[in-house]
Amino acid sequence: MLPAPGTAASLPLATPSLAAGAPFTDDVTKCRIVLLDRDAYGRQLTHAQWDRLRATFPDGACDHSLESVGARPPIPWLPYEQRPDGAPLGSAPRSHFTAA
């Protein structure tokens, strides 16, 4: 069965994380692990499927709907209008052409 067009799994350069439901920003460096919940799956799993899933992920699985572990707000761009001591930088340097 092929992945549905437009889904992360159908992208030619998709990472395993994207295929597993990570955001397209692909900025989750460490996902939050949650315990498996049989009711969270959209269809009924057989006992054999559930046992295999639990054996594969005994400590839980990534929940890509949660923020990355250690995530912080972005740092704004640094201004370059002045030096670290607050003094203005002055004019930009100029290039001078010299004949060889």
- Residues 14-43 have pLDDT tens digits of 777 777 777 777 777 788 999 998 888 777
Q: Is 1 inside any structural domain?
A: no
Provide the residue type at 5 as one letter. P
Q: Quick check: 55 and 48 in contact, CB under 8 A?
A: no
- Choose between 8 and 60: higher pLDDT: 60
pTM above 0.95, yes or no: no
Query: CA separation (Å) from 9 to 3, 17, 62?
Result: 6, 10, 17
End-to-end CA distance of the chain: 67
Q: Is 13 inside any structural domain?
A: no
Which domain, by its residues, includes 64?
23-69
Q: Is 88 inside any structural domain?
A: no
Distance of alpha carbon 91 from alpha carbon 7, whole angstroms: 50
Q: Please give the tally of structural domains in the chain.
A: 1
Q: What are 51-100's pLDDT values in tens digits?
A: 999 999 999 988 888 888 888 888 888 777 777 787 887 788 888 888 87
